[in-house]
Amino acid sequence: MIVPDINLLIYAHNDQASEYAKARAWWEVALNGNTPVGIPWISISGFIRLMIHPRVLAQPMDIAQAELYSCDSDFSRFPGLRWRNPLV
């Protein structure tokens, strides 16, 4: 299993990063390959924390625009959380 760190997430998302093209290409190869890719929750939460912080990015992401994709319908009990079941 491939377990990428938070830097690969950040570089592949931030097109202003010097490593953007390399990281984006790496993700495409990894996700389309035969080896499973696992993204730990700590990397996901760290990515969100850094991407919404104004000291990290000149134009940080707006967390209000985030949408969670999950098959767990229990997320519907959280008012204001935008989520979708990608299998429906």
Determine contact, residues 14/52, Cβ cutoff 8 Å: no
Does any domain span residue 88? no
Average pLDDT over residues 61-85: 90
- What would the pLDDT profile of 44-54 be if each residue is shown by its tens digit? 999 999 999 99
Does any domain span residue 11? yes
For 14, 35, 38, 41, 42, the CA distances from 45, given in Å and listed in that order, are 16, 23, 14, 6, 5
What is the extent of the structural domain holding 35?
6-63
Does any domain span residue 73? no
Q: What is the mean pLDDT of the chain?
A: 92
- What would the pLDDT profile of 1-51 be if each residue is shown by its tens digit? 999 999 999 999 988 889 999 999 999 999 999 999 999 989 999 999 999
Q: How many domains does the chain have?
A: 1
pTM of the model: 0.76
Give the Cα separation of 88 and 86 in Å (integer).
6
Predicted confidence (pLDDT) at residue 80 exceeds the cutoff of 90: no
Tokens 């700590």 locate to 42
Does any domain span residue 42? yes
